[in-house]
Structure formats: structure tokens, C-alpha cells
């Protein structure tokens, strides 16, 4: 199925994997709400993704990467007149967020494991 569509349906995943991806998305929704970044439209979209039959670890990782790419681009634009050191050490820089670092480590491990299995 993955070769045809680019993703694995939840039905083909172990139950714990699907549940974990949904749990992580729900935690993301709660975090957005706490940070004040959860608009009604965004929450509806995220809720639809969580309830979707196609929710998987891979789709969650792609979802996070897309969000971080947008956040980094927005930060880079808004901080272009800052001093380099100030910009790189800022707590508002998405590159400094723990969740971003975890995602980068996960992606590195996944790319390494794909290279080994290919």
C-alpha cells in the first residue's frame, strides 16, 4: 500500500503506532491552545487529522515538519534585522525548541534506517 499511495493506512499499522500518533496530535492541539495559537480553523483541521483513518507516525512527522518549516521561515523573516547571535539564541527561534530537535533526531534515524534497509 505504501508504494501505491506514499503512506501506510492505520489499518496496516500496529494498533499502538496509530494510537501514539493520535495522542501526539492531541497533545499538539492542547499545546497550541495553551500558547494562544489555536484558531478555530486550525483546531478543526487538526481534529480532522486526528480522527482521520490515515493518521500514522509518518503523517504526524510530516505534519510537524511542515509546521516547523513555516515557523522557521516566519521567524527568519521577522528576525532578519537582529544580530546573528541574538537570533540564534532566541527562545522564539523554532530551531531551539526541544520538539524541533527531537523531530530532527527522529528524521535522521529514519533516514539512516531507510538507507540500511534499501
- pLDDT tens digits along 57-116: 777 777 788 888 888 999 999 999 999 999 999 999 999 999 889 888 888 877 776 665
The distance in angstroms from the start CA to the end CA of the chain is: 17
Asked whether the predicted pLDDT for residue 1 surpasses 50, the reply is no
Q: Are 1 and 9 in contact (CB under 8 A)?
A: yes
Q: Which residues, other chains included, contact 103 with Cβ-Cβ below 8 Å and sequence gap of 6+?
A: 61, 64, 65, 68
Q: How deeply is 13 buried, as exposed, middle or buried, from its count of CB atoms within 10 A (0-12, 13-18, 19+)?
A: middle
Percent of the chain predicted with pLDDT > 70: 71
Report the candidate in 96, 94, 24, 95 with the shortest Cα–Cα distance to residue 58.
Answer: 24
pLDDT at 40: 76
Amino acid at each position: 500500500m505504501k508504494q501505491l499511495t506514499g503512506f501506510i493506512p492505520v489499518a496496516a499499522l500496529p494498533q499502538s503506532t496509530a494510537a501514539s500518533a493520535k495522542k501526539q496530535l492531541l497533545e499538539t492541539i492542547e499545546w497550541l491552545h495553551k500558547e494562544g495559537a489555536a484558531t478555530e480553523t486550525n483546531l478543526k483541521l487538526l481534529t480532522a487529522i486526528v480522527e482521520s483513518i490515515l493518521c500514522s507516525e509518518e503523517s504526524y512527522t510530516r505534519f510537524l515538519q511542515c509546521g516547523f518549516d513555516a515557523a522557521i521561515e516566519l521567524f527568519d523573516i521577522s528576525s532578519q534585522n537582529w544580530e546573528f547571535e541574538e537570533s540564534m539564541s532566541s527562545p522564539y527561534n523554532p530551531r531551539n525548541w526541544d520538539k524541533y530537535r527531537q523531530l530532527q533526531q527522529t528524521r535522521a534515524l529514519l533516514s539512516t534506517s531507510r538507507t540500511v534497509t534499501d
